[in-house]
Structures are given as C-alpha cells and as structure tokens.
C-alpha cells in the first residue's frame, strides 16, 4: 500500500447556520473548504451520533466545498433529544427529505455523498431516492438495516467476540423477559419515567458501540460515549430506528441497489468490523454494478483506523 494517507489538516467553517425543516425541527449546518469547490455532504453515523470537526478532514479543502450537518435531535440540531425532541418526526424519510432541503438551501445542484455506518445507510436511501443529485458515493462500514444485522449486533452474535462488553450491555436487562429482543427491552428502559434508569440504559447502549467499534481498544472513546447528554441522544435515536426496523421494508436498500446504476461508488470496509460485518459490504457490492469494494485487512469499524482513513482519503482525492 505504501505510505498511508492521513486526514487533511483542521479547517474551520466559513459559513454556518440553522435550517428549519418543519415539524418544529432545525438542523445545524456548516460549510468549509473552497466556496467554489466541488460540493460534498458528510452524513454522520449513529443515527444520533452528531457531527465533529474531524469530519471535515476527509476532503481536500482547496478542492471541495465541504458540507457537514447534524441530523434531527442530536448534536447542535434543535430540539435535542436530551431536551425532549419529538422522535415521532424522526424517520428515514424525514432525514432523506432534510438532505434535499439542505441541498436546495445551499443552492447546490449535485454533490458527492460521503457516509459511514448509519451514514452509509442514509447515503444509500438518499441516492436511491434522488440519484440525479449524486455525483459519487463514498461509503464506509456498510449497514443495510436488515433484521439479521440488528440481530447480530444486539441479540448475541457480536457478544461472542466481546463477551466482557456484552455482559455490560446486558446488565440493564436483568429481570427482563428473556424472550424479548434486547432492542425492544432497551426501548422501554430508554423511555423510563425514572431519569436514572433511562440514563443508565443510555450509557450502556452507547458504550457498547464505542467499545466494539475499533480493532484495538480506545478507552478515551468509551469515556466520551458515556457523557450523559451525548449518550441520551445517541441511544434514544439509534434505538428508535432499530426498534422500528429503520422504517424500511427488510432488505429494501439492497433490493433497490439497481437505482445506483451510473453513480460511481467506493466502498471501504474493515475486515474485522464487528458492528457492521463485511458480509453487508460484499452483498451491496455484488448488487451494485460498477461499485468498487476495498476490504481493509487490519481494521474494524471506525473511520479513523489508519487503513480505512487511507482508503477514504484516497477516494475523495480521486473524485475531487
């Protein structure tokens, strides 16, 4: 592979604001890089993870007009789930419509769409709905929102690889009906009238994902995931989507992959990704003619693992 590419240096936004998307919801958005450059939109993970300054750094700021935003209910979007944001108006269809509203608001005709994990899910849903607005797709850690994928990660499969972390994830479930799916039990706990029960469940949910996302342990990331405000938004929004099976027919994103025909696409996948196993990336690649799949043999799920960062920056450089 030679010398690994790394993230571009930090860059500050030159424009930002709040976009009213209806339903008493407003998104925080920002633009950095070249105001006249090639437009790209970064779709963050979770759902509920929010955006971060690092997300701007996958793109050459001299070549790209970099759009980053916080999806409904998290980050700097208003209202925040920790403050009681209405989750009934937070669905996949709502988020796809929000992306289009943001594109129109920023007067962008077509843009590259970049997303990992849940960001890849949302990128696929958006591109299948609005293919004429997408110049390229750069995707990482593919999640197709299939029931089997949710079962793998939240009903014991991944626990065979992380038994210590799985025990911590299951701690709030003590006393629950053993026949109930953990996602369903967590749904009740996360919306408990007892704030401490809800917070304990949120921290357990959030730290499970943080602790299992990288090939090697990163205790500082687990600590960040346990911060109460972040954990409540992340866990409640993510669980809300998985409880409702993503508001999509099972397998729909794979079934509709033919709608991506003609859109150049790069898929970067960690071989040892426990959160979103490589089988999903493989299935998508086989169903999407013209897509390119790279499996990074020494990586898990996280975007900032060296081999994954290298391949993502390599892809955005090629498309700039």
Q: How far apart are the first and last CA of the chain?
A: 21
Q: Are 111 and 86 in contact (CB under 8 A)?
A: no
Residues 183, 236: Cα–Cα separation, whole Å? 11
Q: Are 222 and 210 in contact (CB under 8 A)?
A: yes
From 53, 30, 60, select the one nearest 315 (Cα to Cα). 60
Whether 273 is catalytic: yes
Q: Six-digit token pair at 48?
A: 């509920």
Whether 109 is catalytic: no
Q: Are 153 and 277 in contact (CB under 8 A)?
A: no
Note the residue count of the chain.
320
From 298, 135, 88, select the one nearest 214 (Cα to Cα). 298
Active-site option among 80, 187, 301, 310: 301
What residues have CB less than 8 Å from 171, skipping those under 6 apart?
204
User: Residue 77's Cα: distance from chain center in Å?
Assistant: 16
Active-site option among 210, 240, 273, 291: 273
* Residue 45 CB neighbour total at 10 angstroms: 30
Active-site option among 117, 120, 206, 280: 117
Whether 105 is catalytic: no
Residues 207, 211: Cα–Cα separation, whole Å? 6
Residues with catalytic roles: 117, 273, 301
């Amino acid at each position: 592979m030679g010398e690994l590419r790394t993230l571009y240096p930090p860059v500050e936004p030159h424009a930002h604001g709040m976009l009213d998307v209806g339903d008493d919801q407003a998104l925080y958005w920002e633009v950095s890089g070249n105001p006249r450059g090639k437009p790209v939109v970064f779709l963050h993970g979770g759902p509920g993870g929010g955006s971060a300054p690092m997300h701007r750094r996958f793109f050459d700021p001299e070549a790209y007009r970099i759009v980053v935003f916080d999806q409904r209910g998290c980050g700097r979007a208003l209202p925040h789930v920790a403050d009681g944001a209405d989750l009934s108006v937070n669905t996949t269809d709502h988020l796809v419509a929000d992306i289009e509203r943001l594109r129109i608001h920023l007067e962008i005709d077509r843009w590259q769409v970049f997303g990992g994990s849940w960001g890849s899910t949302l990128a696929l849903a958006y591109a299948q709905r609005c293919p004429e607005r997408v110049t390229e797709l750069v995707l990482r850690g593919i999640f197709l929102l299939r029931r089997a994928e949710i079962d793998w990660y939240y009903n014991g499969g991944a626990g065979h690889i992380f038994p210590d972390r799985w025990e911590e994830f299951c701690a709030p479930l003590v006393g629950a009906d053993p026949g109930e799916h953990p996602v369903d039990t967590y749904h009740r706990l996360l919306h408990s009238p007892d704030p401490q029960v809800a917070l304990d469940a949120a921290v357990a949910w959030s730290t499970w994902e943080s602790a299992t996302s990288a090939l090697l342990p990163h205790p500082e990331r687990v600590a960040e995931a346990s911060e109460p405000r972040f954990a409540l938004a992340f866990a409640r929004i993510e669980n809300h989507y998985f409880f409702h099976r993503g508001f999509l027919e099972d397998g729909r994103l794979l079934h509709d992959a033919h709608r991506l025909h003609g859109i150049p696409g790069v898929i970067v996948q960690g071989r040892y990704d426990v959160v979103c196993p490589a089988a999903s990336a493989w299935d998508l690649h086989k169903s999407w003619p013209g897509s390119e799949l790279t499996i990074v043999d020494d990586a898990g799920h996280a975007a900032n693992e060296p081999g994954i960062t290298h391949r993502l920056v390599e892809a955005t450089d090629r498309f700039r």
